[in-house]
Every structure is written in structure tokens, then in C-alpha cells.
Structure 1
Amino acid sequence: MTGQSDGMDLRAVLGTVGAVGALNVGLGLGLGVGLLRGDRRLGNDLALTLGFPAFLAVAGVRVRVVGEHNLWAQRPAVFVMNHQSGLDAMIVGALLRQGFSGLGKKEAQYSPPTFLMGQATEAVFVDRADPVKGRTAQAQLLERLRAGLSVFVAPEGTRSDTGELGEFRTGAFHVARTAGVPVVPVVLRNAYELMPGKAKIIRPGVVDVAVLEPISTEGWSSETARDDVARVRRRFVEALENWPQETA
């Protein structure tokens, strides 16, 4: 048993290191093409198309998706995901493929493993402890949406320490309402088992993802905001309790 465990741990360590390398090679190649062609959008989209799938493949993470058509049903959109692990952004990025931005914490902006990812996604970085900067980040996300990019956000604000669904903050939903775009729930299951909490090492395995139908923000207002967010969160709860099945 110890030998098997040591082998698995070594595989996980090597896979994690290799995955970060593959991510940045893919991102770098795409961004390089964009520079050579003088087309940043082409470069960003190519970088994202190459980088995220390469990361998952080398890490040994397979994604099993229900409702994949909802990723393309309406764009731009605000894609909201539950935040179970450090894998979540990679999984959602691989699914969205291109034409999206995201919200990240300020510490990741200049971190070597994630610097190119921030460039390719035109990510918005925020100091979550500063409400004024939080409002500035929302304005930047609005700019992305109005430019035709989708955005993805983890409304819990930080990854779960237990894998359980946390409370949702209202910022992402305010942005969607203001931009007049739909909210698309992206529900992740068992990502926590492969990379729990603040873990740094990825275990190979399968992650289930359910992309639910877009939710219109028409009729939402500042007065109904709490109820609107609660209804979206309830979709996550229901999906995790009774996993959706693909329909023909």
C-alpha cells in the first residue's frame, strides 16, 4: 500500500509540475502568434485554446460535461462557478475555450505560474479586502462584457475549505444585470477530491461539470438583488443534490 501511495504521490507531483509547464507553453505560443500577426484577440484565443486543455491533459484530469451546449447558447454572458479547488479556473477555461475574461485575486497578477493566463484572459484582478477596488473591478468586468467578451467569476469569493457550497456575493450578478447579459451556472462536482482546499498538488481523475441553462437578468433590480442571487445559488444546490442528466 505504501508503495502504491508513493507512486501515486510522485505521479501527482510530476503531473502538477508538468501541467503548469504545459499551460504556459500553450499560452506563450498563442500569445506569440498574436504578437507576430499584430492581432491580440487572435493571440489570446489561440493561447486559451491551447493552454487550458494542455494543463488538464498533463495533470491527468478528465472532464465529463452535462449541458455543454449551454456554454454557447448566449454570449457574452457571466459564467458563475462554485469554487472547490485550484483546478476550477482551468476546468472552466478549457470549457469556454475562447472569448472570455475572468476575475482573480491580486496576488495572482504577477505570480509566474499564472501571469500569462492573466494576459491571455485580460483578467481583472481585485483586492477583495478593499471595497473601492472591488467596485473598480466590477467596472472593468463591465467593459469586458461590452467589448463582447464573456466573463467567469466564482461568486463565493474564495475556494471552499470543505468542498461544500458557500454563500454567494452579489458582485458578479450586479455586473450581469448592469450589462444586460444572462448568468450561466457552471456546477463542478468532485474537483475538491482531486485538489482539496489550498492543496498545491493535483491528483489525476475525473471531474463532473454541469452547465445549466442561461438565466435571464431581465427584470432584476437592486431591490431584488438578494432574492435573485439566492435563486441562482439554489440552482447549484439542486444540481449538486440531484445531478442533471443529459437530455437528447
Structure 2
Amino acid sequence: MELWPGAWTVLLLLFLLLLFLLPTLWFCSPSAKYFFKMAFYNGWILFLAVLAIPVCAVRGRNVENMKILRLMLLHIKYLYGIRVEVRGAQHFPPSQPYVVVSNHQSSLDLLGMMEVLPGRCVPIAKRELLWAGSAGLACWLAGVIFIDRKRTGDAISVMSEVAQTLLTQDVRVWVFPEGTRNHNGSMLPFKRGAFHLAVQAQVPIVPIVMSSYQDFYCKKERRFTSGRCQVRVLPPVPTEGLTSDDVPALADRVRHSMLTIFREISSDGKGGGDYLKKPGGAREAGL
């Protein structure tokens, strides 16, 4: 029993030490600030997912639950001082299924996605997200489509089912065709799954481009400040009459148009412009 007072003293000292260290690290270490911000970003999303789960569970797994997730996530940009500007939203087809393709830079893409996400639209995500605690369950309840990218046969089967769902349930899907996050300020080559899906379902492709985050966020430099991001919705690309033989050219054409817009909006001072002004910035962006 005599150990308890000592234990409480140690805990109190550790608590006081944290109270001193955390503010010191926050103001003196940009790297520490980066890790604190990212830890809070991920932790806050997990917490919000816990709140969303019982609300979404009333409907069960339903694409309409995505509205609940979107409503709960929209405020995060204000916590980080990130201004998201959307242009071209009038290009969304008003009343038909379509496939959205977007560039993929980091987990912060969630902010731009929630800002512009159309109705009855769900992302296609890697299956690992399903096991991401409360976030995975919330995504499942919201109708997010999970694909095991390591098993090609399963991925093709899921895509075939998605094509039928697009047409029979008036659903739109959001795909990141680069397949993984790209931090180098350009765009990776596109995987063709999203384009095969659109051609198989004979639905339009709606390209969405998010400007470079490099003026306020850089994983390599451990930098995360406030800033601006522009989200540009491009005119839909029709796929009527196209076949699987046309998919490679279609994917290249869409990527070229998206990369052109990415360079434009990342250097116009309204999203990523400071990055391209840095030494080597234009070279890294492929300009």
C-alpha cells in the first residue's frame, strides 16, 4: 500500500512534464507539429467514425449513409486552416450513373473529396481499409466498395458487379486510378480498372483534379501548415460505343487532360503555387 503515493507522484510528474514538453515541441519543432497534426487528423476521423456508426447502422449498409459521413467530415478543413475552392461542379451529370476519377496525393484528399462528393457516390478503396477500426466499419456501412488489389481475379469480379450496380441502383463511384498516393507533385501512370468499368457500363467518366498540396503539406519535409487547395471538376468524358480495346487510349487521354489542369491550378497562386516557385519544384512536377 505504501507504493501508491509514490506511483501517483510519478504520474503527476509525467503529466507536468508532458504539459511542458508538448507546447515546447509544438512551437519549436516543425516536425513535431507535423506529427501532432497528422496524429490528431487520423484520431479525429476515427472518433467521428465512432459517432457515425450507430447513426448509419439504422439503415444498414446503404450508399445514402455517405451523406452522414460527409456531413461529419466537412468541418475538418477549418481545424487546419485549409481553404478548399471548388470549380466546375456544374459538369456533374445531373441524373445518371458515372465514374469519377481523381488524382491521389495523400490522406488529405478526403478533405477535397468531401467538399465536392456528389449524391449517391461512393469510393472504391483497397480492402485493407475495411480493417481500419471504426473508420473501416463506418465506410462499410456507407457502401464503400472494397477491392483486394493483390488478387486480380477478385478485383475483376468486383468490378463486374459494380458495373451492374451502377446501372441498376443509380450509383456513382469514385476511383483513384493512380492506385496509390503520389507525393512527388505530378501524377503516376493510371491503372485502367476505372476505365474498363466505365466502358463496361457505358457511363461517362468525370475527371476531378486537386491542386498540389506542396505549399502547405509535404510528408518528406514533415511540413503541415494552413493553405489553399483548388478542386476542379472537368467536363464528363463519354464512353458510349467504346470497347475494351479503346481503354488504353481513353485512360491516356483522360490522364493527359487531368495533368494539364493539375499543372495549371498548381501554379496559378490558388493551390500549390508556392511549391512550383521553389527551386526544383517545376522539375519535380514534370514541367
What is the TM-score with the length of structure 2 in the denominator? 0.71
- Call closer, same or farther: CA 1:153–1:208 in 2, change over 3 Å: same
User: Which entry has the higher C-alpha Rg, 1 or 2?
Assistant: 2
**What is residue 187 of structure 1 aligned with on the other side?**
209
Q: How many residues align?
A: 243
Offset at residue 134 of structure 1 (A): 2.0
Q: Which has the higher contact order (CA 8 A, sep 6+)?
A: 1
Distance 1:69 1:151 in 2: 18
List gaps (5 residues or longer) in structure 1.
none
Checking the alignment, whether the CA contact within 8 Å between 2:105 and 2:181 is kept in structure 1 is yes
1:82-129: CA deviation from partner (whole Å, max 9, x where unpaired): 112221244213321542211212222211263144224322222323
**TM-score when normalising by structure 1:** 0.81
1:106 paired with 2:127, answer yes
Aligned residue number for residue 134 of structure 1: 155
| Distance verdict in 2 for CA 1:39–1:115, change over 3 Å | closer
Q: Please tell me whether the aligned partners of residues 61 and 143 of structure 2 are also in contact (alpha carbons under 8 angstroms).
A: no
Tell me the equivalent position of 1:204. 226
Q: Among residues 52, 73, 88, which one is paired with 2:109 in the alignment?
A: 88
Distance of aligned partners of 1:140 and 1:204 in 2 relative to their CA distance in 1, 3 Å threshold: farther
CA 1:12–1:49 in structure 2 vs 1: closer, same or farther (change >3 Å)?
same
Counterpart AA for 1:223: D
Deviation at residue 180 of structure 1 after TM alignment: 2.0
8 A Cα contact 1:128 1:134, kept in partner: yes
Q: Which moved more, 1:62-71 or 1:173-182?
A: 62-71
- Find the aligned partners of 1:112 and 1:59 in 2 and give their Cα distance: 24
Task: Please say which of residues 225-234 and 23-32 is displaced more in the overlay.
Answer: 23-32
Structure 2's unaligned 5+ residue stretches are: 1-23, 269-287
Task: Say if 1:48 and 1:120, in contact at 8 Å, map to a contact too.
Answer: no
Give the direction of change, closer, same or farther, for the CA distance of 1:241–1:151 in structure 2 (3 Å limit): same
Shift of residue 144, structure 1, vs aligned partner: 3.9
Q: Would the aligned equivalents of 1:27 and 1:47 in 2 still touch at CA under 8 Å?
A: no
Q: Encode CA deviations 1:179-220: one digit per residue, 9 max, x unaligned.
A: 121111111112355444689985432211111011111122
Matched residue, 1:35? 57
